């Protein structure tokens, strides 16, 4: 347990010098408040280390928040001297799921969602010293966006968690300041489109490549301006080059970055539909990344731990991570950008309880394909829940729009809370035409989006007949091996289990040589192996849950991944 966990600046593409981390030891209490009431406790149960959920060992609490209960947080803080002039913005990276916030007994606001950041201007409630911050959280896991959390965990469903699970921090800004930046690379036109979102004024934009200034422009607030770049250097996993950006608006100054790349689909030299990177066919050799940790659950134990996961997969020869049913802290995406790792981003699933014959039967009966406009079948009869999903989807696109490495949006997975996927795919393409869309990963394909996306675990993979879309194997493998001394669940779950490293290695090699590699010539353009690490009962990771053991030899995995390439 650290008194200063995750101290790094949490927003790498909009950096200011003012930064007050509020991570660390807070007081906490869990109470049974009636619905609609919030009565702060007179005494607290103990200390909790923020930003770890009370269910996570690193929090120091190890208690499960149950439906109907309220999790209370409280801490005191003083303002740094450089916060004396300007507006103070209080930021929360993510709080699961519904919260209300008070500063010095003045309510600052509330938020519902669980996975996206939010902030409040708390200037008028602050004192120079002796400030008190109180947060009340409720999380009825099972309603709304929940990801892979379940109160009764097991198999592919993991420990439910709650409360603050990303960095809490504050910054001081001028009255008129840069609220956010939109940086859209236009590779074919050798320019970047810059939009400075602010209440008004003109911003000065300076772009650098290394130590050399290569472009500058004046950008009116709220208006996109194209800034030409000389001798453009394209971003790719093999050359993850990033341009630096400095934006000045009045007395406000922020720093960011972007990469010059393009994502699209198109035919290769033989007319086969392929994923294109920078206008050329590029094979996405990916691995499924759940983003869970034994000590932090949703929250990584350190910045270095996030880096190690990404760097290890890159060393093994993977070029892509599919971020599965979770939105990570922005620093995770930053490390993918700078290390050169493509990202497929899943939206967070929600809805009512799922029916096994909708979400499980297609795994073994691949001909089962249901019309997702019949909402009740998919646990989506509630119109308000569908509206909330679309609201969160739009917010997710804006939140991650500038991520250089993000190549594909995945709104639905295996029918979990799926609805109107064809319409949702069209909406995503309209919101973000710079990326491709996998509208229904796994099953219940509605014939939409850019990708024909298959999950194959219990049968032999055979490429289907072409339908004009790019063919991807978006989940496969799931081969399990128990590493003695490095397991966390009471049970063991895996699609196929092996007893020795040699047996696992032989199966891994045979799967790729007999089924996956030959399919590339028949149109296969991306793969997502299950998975990066074990998670609780699941023992099908390349790494153990604690990341201490790589189950297969480096050179074996690298030799296979080198063959997952297009000519």
Tokens coding 305: 């731990």
Paired with 537 in beta bridges are none
**Dist. CA 298–CA 72, nearest whole Å:** 19
Sequence-ordered list of residues with C-beta below 8 angstroms from that of 481, at least 6 positions apart, any chain: 494, 497, 498, 499, 500, 501, 504, 539, 551
The angle subtended at Cα 301 by Cα 295 and Cα 306, nearest 5°, is 120
Give pLDDT, residue 363.
86
At which residue do the structure tokens 């472009």 appear?
Answer: 215
Instruction: Please tell me whether residue 135 adopts helix, strand or coil conformation.
Output: strand
186 near 156, Cβ under 8 Å?
A: no
Tens digit of pLDDT for each residue in 127-147? 989 999 999 999 987 666 688
**Dist. CA 222–CA 202, nearest whole Å:** 9
- For the chain, which ranges sit under pLDDT 70? 1, 142-145, 367
**Dist. CA 359–CA 365, nearest whole Å:** 11
**Dist. CA 374–CA 361, nearest whole Å:** 17
Tens digit of pLDDT for each residue in 36-47? 788 899 999 999
Instruction: Please tell me whether residue 209 adopts helix, strand or coil conformation.
Output: strand
Sequence-ordered list of residues with C-beta below 8 angstroms from that of 120, at least 6 positions apart, any chain: 89, 90, 101, 108, 109
Element (H, E) at 308: helix 303-315
Give pLDDT, residue 3.
83
**Dist. CA 318–CA 287, nearest whole Å:** 7
Tokens coding 411: 């709104």
Torsion angles phi and psi, residue 539, rounded to 5: -120, 30
Tokens coding 395: 């917010």
At which residue do the structure tokens 């081969």 appear?
Answer: 479
Give pLDDT, residue 141.
73
Sequence-ordered list of residues with C-beta below 8 angstroms from that of 104, at least 6 positions apart, any chain: 125, 126, 127, 131, 132
The DSSP line for 244-273 is EEEEEETTEEEEEEE-B--EEEEE-TTS-E
Paired with 517 in beta bridges are none
Give pLDDT, residue 128.
84
Give pLDDT, residue 367.
66
């Amino acid at each position: 347990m650290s008194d200063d966990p995750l101290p790094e600046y949490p927003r790498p593409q909009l950096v200011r010098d003012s930064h007050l981390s509020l991570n660390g030891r807070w007081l906490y209490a869990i109470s049974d408040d009636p619905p609609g009431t919030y009565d702060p406790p007179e005494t607290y149960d103990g200390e909790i280390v923020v930003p770890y959920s009370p269910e996570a060992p690193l929090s120091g609490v190890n208690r499960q928040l149950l439906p109907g209960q309220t999790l209370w947080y409280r801490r005191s803080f003083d303002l740094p001297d450089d916060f004396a002039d300007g507006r103070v913005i209080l930021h929360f990276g993510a709080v699961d799921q519904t919260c209300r916030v008070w500063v010095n007994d003045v309510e600052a606001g509330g938020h519902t969602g669980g996975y996206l950041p939010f902030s409040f201007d708390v200037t008028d409630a602050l004192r120079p010293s002796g400030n008190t911050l109180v947060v009340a959280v409720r999380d009825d896991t099972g309603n709304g966006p929940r990801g892979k959390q379940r109160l009764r965990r097991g198999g592919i469903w993991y420990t439910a968690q709650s409360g603050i699970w990303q960095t809490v921090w504050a910054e001081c800004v001028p009255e008129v300041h840069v609220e956010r930046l939109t940086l859209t690379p236009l590779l074919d036109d050798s320019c970047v489109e810059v939009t400075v979102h602010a209440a008004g004024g003109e911003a000065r934009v300076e772009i650098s490549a290394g130590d050399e200034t290569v472009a500058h422009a004046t950008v009116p607030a709220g208006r996109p301006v194209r800034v030409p770049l000389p001798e453009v250097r394209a971003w790719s996993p093999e050359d993850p080059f990033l341009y630096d950006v400095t934006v000045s608006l009045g007395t406000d100054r922020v720093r960011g970055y972007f990469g010059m790349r393009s994502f699209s689909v198109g035919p290769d030299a033989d007319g086969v539909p392929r994923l294109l990177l920078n206008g050329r066919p590029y094979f996405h050799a990916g691995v499924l990344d759940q983003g869970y940790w034994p000590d932090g659950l949703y929250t990584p134990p350190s910045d270095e731990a996030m880096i190690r996961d990404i760097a290890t997969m890159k060393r093994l020869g993977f070029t892509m991570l599919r971020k599965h049913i979770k939105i990570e802290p922005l620093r995770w995406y930053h490390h993918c950008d700078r290390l050169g790792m493509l990202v497929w981003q899943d939206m967070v699933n929600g809805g009512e309880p799922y029916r096994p014959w909708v979400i499980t039967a297609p795994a073994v009966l691949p001909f089962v394909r249901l019309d997702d406009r019949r909402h009740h079948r998919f646990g989506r009869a509630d119109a308000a829940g569908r509206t909330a999903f679309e609201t969160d989807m739009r917010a997710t696109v804006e939140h991650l729009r500038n991520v250089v490495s993000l190549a594909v949006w995945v709104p639905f997975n295996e029918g979990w809370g799926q609805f109107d996927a064809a319409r949702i795919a069209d909406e995503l393409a309209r919101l973000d035409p710079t990326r491709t869309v996998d509208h229904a990963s796994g099953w219940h394909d509605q014939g939409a989006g850019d990708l024909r996306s298959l999950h194959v675990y219990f049968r032999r993979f055979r490429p289907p007949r072409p339908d004009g879309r790019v063919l991807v194997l978006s989940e496969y493998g799931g081969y399990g091996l128990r590493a003695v001394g490095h397991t966390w669940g009471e049970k063991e779950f895996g699609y196929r289990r092996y007893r020795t490293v040699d047996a696992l290695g032989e199966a891994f090699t045979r799967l790729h040589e007999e089924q996956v590699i030959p399919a590339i010539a028949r149109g296969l353009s991306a793969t997502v192996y299950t998975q990066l690490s074990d998670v609780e009962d699941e023992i099908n990771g390349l790494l153990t849950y604690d990341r201490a053991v790589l189950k297969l030899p480096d050179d074996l995995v690298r030799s296979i991944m080198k063959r997952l390439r297009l000519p």
